[in-house]
Structure 1
Amino acid sequence: MHMWKSVLALTASLMALAPVHAQIKIGQTAGFTGPVAAGVRDMTAGATLYFDTINSRGGIDGQRLELVSLDDQFQPPLAAKNAKTLAADPKVVALFLSRGTPQTQAMLPVLEQSKIALVAPLTGAAVLRKPVQPYVFNVRASSSREAQRAIEHLMGVGVSRIAVVTPEDSSGLDALAGANAGFEAGHIKPVFAGQFNQQKPEFGSTVEALKKVEPQAILFVGSAQAVAGGTALIRAAGLQAQIVTLSNNASKGFIDLMASNAHGTIIAQVFPNERAISSPLIKEVLEFAKAAHVENITPALVEGFADAKVLVEAIRRAGRAPNRASVLAALNGMAAYDLGGLRINYSTSDHTGLDFVDLSIVDSTGRLRR
């Protein structure tokens, strides 16, 4: 188990301002090592950028924020154990930025027992949205909506022979449901739909099946390592189908793992283009990043930044001495909060978050274009 007090040293000046003992603690468990490490580190860097900048401006009512992060290696049992460890510290007012559907589901009993909110889990699973999980506050759009949007785009540009490859867990089922909604709207069926074990991905039989149907495009849902490894096998088999994946892979680390196979990959996005200065949110990200000398702005960093902004707003609204109960109440009362051109609407009956979905494509230089 590794403790990550700050994933990136944004600047020497900001690090110098970080408190030795924070007055407000935020707990995080996520896969800093393992198959999703690249995306986790990018997102946590975005959150750290926001927290550190708020601290440099005096914190919240003079109180500084500390993000305490534990590595769960993308393993559900370890995620639950880490959540219990974090919740045992009464100074931790909320949990934040978990990664993965089974991992977040494993944390639910801890949330219930400790009566602590989890803000911005990186999962689009329906099981964490409907019915409402009282302690889980989603920010990103659902994976079902992402998958549906991807299929609609492919059909809109004349692609009809589409395969779908998803994990055999609840996140995969949600993505498949969204894809099927897109297929039904377009009155077509996938040429192939296969599943794999997310923890131990093996694609031999999947690649053989894909060779037989020769799809034009493959909606490939899974961790960065799984999608990159599976794509390498698909290309080695001589298939040139366009790879389409979801926003959990919108990171530089994923593009690096894809290597020469990255060019032309379509990746769904759940926040505006990181270069869209017309977006108030992106303008703020760029301003904070410039001040901290952060140059590599990725979609994952933007998401982490936005997630941190939601949590900080809840802590601000929780009073001068924020605690778990007051942060939870503040979240449930956060109606029509302007995140920067995007509105968050939480209530006791709705913890959905945003519905924004866009698409990007990796160009020949390894950059995402929209």
Structure 2
Amino acid sequence: MFFDQPLSRLRALALCAACCAGGGAQADILIGQTTAVSGSVAASVGEALQGVRAYLDHVNAQGGVNGEKIKLITLDDNFKPPLAGENARKLIEQEGVVALFMSRGTPHTEAILPLLAKHKLALIAPSTGAMVFHRPVNPYVFNVRSSYQAESKRAVEHLFQVSLQRVAVVHVDDSFGADCLEGGMHGFDSAGKKPVAVVKAAREKPDYAAIIQQLKQAEAQAVLWCGSGLAVVDGVKALRQAGSAAQVVTLSNNASSGFVKQLGEYATGVIVSQVFPNARALGVPINREATTLLAGQAELSPASIEGFAAAKVLVEALRRAGPKPTREKIIDALNGMQRYDLGGLELAFSPTDHTGLNYVELSIIGRDGRFRR
């Protein structure tokens, strides 16, 4: 169960992705996380945390890392950037975590950056593909997924490849949306085309009537829609209710079964970019491993496989850092992780490259509510 409580209560109720077996024994390695347990992206965050817990529970059940158990302290930021920054400060300065892990959202993660530099600790696997976390290389941010720009570029290129000519972009009016738009424009440039409309959507309360009117006036055949899960869901519903059959493409931040359920009858045919292999591709070793550890708990989804992969990178960094890992040792271990097999996916970090993985493909939601490649 998740809680949105003051820190004093959260310390007792915090989500421990892996608790010590038996008694009230304390975990040895403290890892901090601020993420949207509640709010507009809570569905996909919950699925990601299922993957995280499955792997960390498994590792702790085997004795932990170098004989030490891992405790993940998760604070809810309700998908609000200022709260994400405050949560990170509490985790670092009051809880004394040795690393931060899997924050969610672009402006939310940007709010954490000054704290990383001040306290010199790593943020591992932020759940955002914003280019600001890739280039220039931030010495404290270690990504475990491709960039949003790579995704949006690929999405736009695909739309022109399938002979759709009138393509529009709707993007949330924040740093994530600007990043998505920049990548999309690279796709337009490579196709020698221009968007028929570029529409900004307010982050808190999008004016869907005005957005849909602009799309209809532009006679858009397809829309690259960049926003949070609920924002895109409401946008797709408004578009369809207005009588438009335009193809909708969105990014991997919405690659979750929760997103599909929220779309309901409007889900079929929506394209979602992916940064990990199809969860049902059991020929991929990491998928087989995750499916086994999640058995009886949850079905593997794009969001849960991202959480699972992120947890594997965290554990490997702790293993390489040695007993009693410090903030400095963890950063050194990550920078030395130049070839690490996640299970059919090779991740690489170095002091000059913190992207980790370069994997992008597109999926479409089928009539059965599943992502198909």
TM-score, normalized by the shorter chain, greater than 0.5: yes
Is the CA contact 1:18–1:55 (under 8 Å) kept in the aligned structure 2? no
Offset of residue 91 of structure 1: 4.6
Q: Deviations over 1:143-175 (max 9, x none)?
A: 000001111211111111111111122211221
Indicate yes or no: 2:369 matched with 1:366. Answer: yes
Residue number in structure 1 paired with 2:15: 6
Equivalent runs, 1:146-295 vs 2, <5 Å: 146-290=151-295, 293-295=296-298
Aligned counterparts of 1:253 and 1:220: Cα–Cα separation in 2: 17
2:195 maps to a residue whose letter is: P
Change over 3 Å in CA distance of 1:8–1:261 after alignment to 2: farther
Offset of residue 57 of structure 1: 1.1
Q: Deviations over 1:282-335 (max 9, x none)?
A: 122122223xx2341110000000011011100000011111111111011110
Is the CA contact 1:120–1:137 (under 8 Å) kept in the aligned structure 2? yes
Q: Normalising by the residue count of structure 2, what TM-score does the alignment of the two structures yield?
A: 0.93
Most deviating of 82-91 and 158-167:
82-91
Equivalent runs, 1:1-370 vs 2, <5 Å: 1-2=4-5, 3=10, 5-6=14-15, 20-89=25-94, 91-290=96-295, 293-370=296-373
Aligned residues: 364
Aligned counterparts of 1:251 and 1:235: Cα–Cα separation in 2: 21
Unaligned 5+ runs, structure 2: none
Q: Deviations over 1:155-207 (max 9, x none)?
A: 11111111111112221122111111111111121111111122332222211
Aligned counterparts of 2:113 and 2:352: Cα–Cα separation in 1: 18
1:133 maps to a residue whose letter is: N
Offset of residue 230 of structure 1: 1.3
Is the CA contact 1:121–1:138 (under 8 Å) kept in the aligned structure 2? yes
Q: Normalising by the residue count of structure 1, what TM-score does the alignment of the two structures yield?
A: 0.94
1:122 maps to a residue whose letter is: S
Q: Deviations over 1:205-262 (max 9, x none)?
A: 2111111122221111110011011111111211111111000001111111111111
Q: Which runs of 4+ in 1 moved over 6 A?
A: none
Change over 3 Å in CA distance of 1:135–1:8 after alignment to 2: closer
Percent identical among aligned pairs is 47
Q: Deviations over 1:126-153 (max 9, x none)?
A: 1111111111111110000000111121
Is the CA contact 1:18–1:52 (under 8 Å) kept in the aligned structure 2? no
Unaligned 5+ runs, structure 1: none
SS, match of residue 349 in structure 2: coil
Offset of residue 344 of structure 1: 1.6
Aligned counterparts of 2:23 and 2:109: Cα–Cα separation in 1: 29
Offset of residue 273 of structure 1: 0.7
Aligned counterparts of 2:38 and 2:354: Cα–Cα separation in 1: 29
Is the CA contact 2:31–2:98 (under 8 Å) kept in the aligned structure 1? yes
Offset of residue 67 of structure 1: 1.0
2:144 maps to a residue whose letter is: V
Is the CA contact 2:131–2:179 (under 8 Å) kept in the aligned structure 1? yes
Change over 3 Å in CA distance of 1:149–1:17 after alignment to 2: farther
Offset of residue 6 of structure 1: 3.4
1:305 maps to a residue whose letter is: F
Q: Deviations over 1:103-138 (max 9, x none)?
A: 000011111111111011111111111111111111
Is the CA contact 1:168–1:195 (under 8 Å) kept in the aligned structure 2? yes
Change over 3 Å in CA distance of 1:369–1:84 after alignment to 2: same
Is the CA contact 1:5–1:66 (under 8 Å) kept in the aligned structure 2? no
Aligned counterparts of 2:17 and 2:262: Cα–Cα separation in 1: 20
SS, match of residue 352 in structure 1: strand
Aligned counterparts of 1:6 and 1:169: Cα–Cα separation in 2: 29
